[in-house]
């Protein structure tokens, strides 16, 4: 005896529109996640314009000098007098580097003095942050 189904067998379909929606959501999520993974340890300053190659800064400290002569180490306020002692605590090894993010209107003398204090603390590698044209 042959049994018949009460409803006919239908072939399954792959709906493409919901899959496009899911892929777009994943793309937007990954883009936002990658933006939040960037290590931005400096304050926003008006960087000087110039051309420079991208540098590897995995073990670096950011030294920011603003146009009103304020000095920051990774968003922590500092002065010229305390700069060397703070940098000695941040020294991670002989290959540690400093990213110098100086405002275009910052006094050049203060930037040079900050670099000399960093050299006195034991840093030998300096990376200068510029804004690409």
Per-residue model confidence as pLDDT tens digits over 26-54: 999 998 887 766 555 666 776 777 766 66
Please check whether residue 123 is in contact with residue 86, taking contact to mean a CB–CB distance below 8 angstroms: no
Distance linking the first and last C-alpha atoms of the chain: 82
Mean pLDDT of the chain: 81
Task: Return the domain boundaries, the chain.
Answer: 60-128
Lookup: tokens for 80:
């010229």
SS3 117: helix
Please check whether residue 62 is in contact with residue 74, taking contact to mean a CB–CB distance below 8 angstroms: yes
Residue entry with tokens 């936002």? 32
56 confidence band (pLDDT: 50, 70, 90): low
Q: How much is the pTM?
A: 0.61
CATH 2.70.150.10 at 60-128, yes or no: no
Residue 21's region, left for phi above 0, alpha for psi from -120 to 50, else beta, is alpha
């Amino acid at each position: 005896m042959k049994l018949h189904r009460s409803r006919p067998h239908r072939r399954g379909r792959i709906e493409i529109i919901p899959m496009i929606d899911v892929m777009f959501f994943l793309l937007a999520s990954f883009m936002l996640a990658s933006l939040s993974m960037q290590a931005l340890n400096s304050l926003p300053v008006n960087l000087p314009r110039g051309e420079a190659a991208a540098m590897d800064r995995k073990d670096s400290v950011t030294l920011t000098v603003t146009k009103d002569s304020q000095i920051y180490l990774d968003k922590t306020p500092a002065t010229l007098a305390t700069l060397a002692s703070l940098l000695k605590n941040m020294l991670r090894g002989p290959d540690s580097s400093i990213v110098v993010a100086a405002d275009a209107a910052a006094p050049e003398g203060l930037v040079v003095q900050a670099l000399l204090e960093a050299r006195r603390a034991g840093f030998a590698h300096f990376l200068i942050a510029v804004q690409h044209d």
